[in-house]
Amino acid sequence: MRVSTPYQFESYSSAIRKSQAEYFRVQQQVTTGKKFQYSSEDPLSASLSMSARSLKGRFEQYDKNLRGAKDYTQRGEQSMGEIATVLKQANVLAIQASSSSLDSNSLQSLATQITSLQETLVRHANAQGAGGQYIFSGHKTDTKPFTVAAGALTFNGDTNVIRAEVRAGEQMQINLQGADTLVADIYTALEDLKTRVQAGDTINISGVSLEEIQGLHDQVSGVRAELGNKLQTIEALSSENTRRTDDLTKEISDHEEVDLADAFTRYQQAETAYSAALQMASRGMQLSLMDFMR
């Protein structure tokens, strides 16, 4: 059987092209650590990787939303903790003021301390988050929620709800509603207490102010408990998101990245095959026509 020179040349060239392509492909994998550069090289892996990346992006957004929710909730709980302390101190002052043995100077001193507590209350009610946003201002996050003028407390924010998607189809309210009313009630209760202290009205201090302060303290404690429960939920969701993100990162790696030990082995094999194809073509092209006619 005779083998034509063009056929012989094409056979050797084809073998060289194939071995060269594989050699360069594996060399690229070793260099970059990636299984492919273009999705057309491995459509299935590329498609699965894109899906995993898209899902990972969603979980990363959920995690970002949860960080925002945690910031609001944590700082809200801290603020309420400080306000609870204000009420405890007010309770102590009210008990002191209920004593009929105090003179006018002592009562005035207690009234001054109550004014200081009101200032502390407003300061903590104007708490800000990590981004500088006022956490009790509703949507008006760049507006200080509480100001005092001529002894009157004014709320400058709004009562709109801020929600964030924390997982597929589930939203969480991240700001505290009702803070405007609660803070206003506390400020008013302190103002009433101060007026009664200045007047030496021990009967209403004991019968009204102490009861109001205790009731407001209970409300604040209830809010803190709710915020604490929300923080636990946020932590649980964050842990779940971290786990899912880690799983998806591994999945993407499995689709896109090569096993370097295996890649080096295949690189050596491809290099050997490429060299062999070149050597075979070199020897084969030196054969005479008579060699093919034998």
Q: What is the CATH number of the domain that holds 110?
A: 1.20.1330.10
Tell me, rounded to whole angstroms, the distance of Cα 68 from its chain centroid. 6
Average pLDDT for residues 93-107, to the nearest whole number? 90
Helix, strand, coil distribution of the chain in percent, nearest 5:
75, 5, 20
Kindly state whether residues 27 and 70 are assigned to the same domain.
no
Q: Which residues contact 185 (CB under 8 A, 6 or more apart)?
A: 216
Same domain? For 142 and 82 the reply is yes
Q: Is the pLDDT of residue 29 over 60?
A: no
Residue 289 sits in the same domain as residue 155? no
> 24 and 101 share a domain?
no
| Statement to judge: residues 219 and 280 lie in one domain | no
pLDDT, tens digit (0-9, with 9 covering 90-100), for 77-99: 999 999 999 999 999 999 999 98
Domain count, the chain: 2
Query: Last residue of a domain, which of 219, 238, 257?
Result: 238
285 plus 174 within the same structural domain: no
Helices then strands, counting H and E runs in the chain, come out as 8, 4
Q: Which residue has the higher pLDDT, 224 or 253?
A: 224
> Is residue 39 in a domain?
no
Round to whole Å and give the CA distance between 5 and 200.
Answer: 121
Q: 161: domain range?
A: 66-238
Average pLDDT over residues 133-144: 96
Asked if residue 247 belongs to a domain, the reply is no
Q: Is residue 202 part of a domain?
A: yes
Q: Is residue 163 part of a domain?
A: yes
144, 186: one domain? yes
- Examine the pLDDT at 281 and tell me if it is beyond 90: no
pTM of the model: 0.75
- Same domain assignment for residues 177 and 287: no
**Does residue 71 belong to any structural domain of this protein?**
yes
Q: Is there a domain that residue 201 lies in?
A: yes
> Do the domain assignments include residue 102?
yes
Answer yes or no: do 106 and 214 share one domain.
Answer: yes
Quick one: 153 and 277 in the same domain?
A: no
Residue 287 has pLDDT above 60, yes or no: no
Q: How far apart are CA 72 and CA 141, in angstroms?
A: 11
Domain final residue pick, 238, 262, 281: 238
Q: Residue 146, SS3?
A: strand
In a domain, 258, yes or no: no
Kindly state whether residues 234 and 112 are assigned to the same domain: yes
Using the 3D structure, point to which of 215, 238, 261 is the last residue of a domain. 238
The tens digit of pLDDT for each residue in 193-225 reads 999 999 999 999 998 999 999 999 999 999 999
What is the tens place of the pLDDT at every residue in 54-71?
999 999 999 999 999 999
Q: Are 136 and 183 within one domain?
A: yes
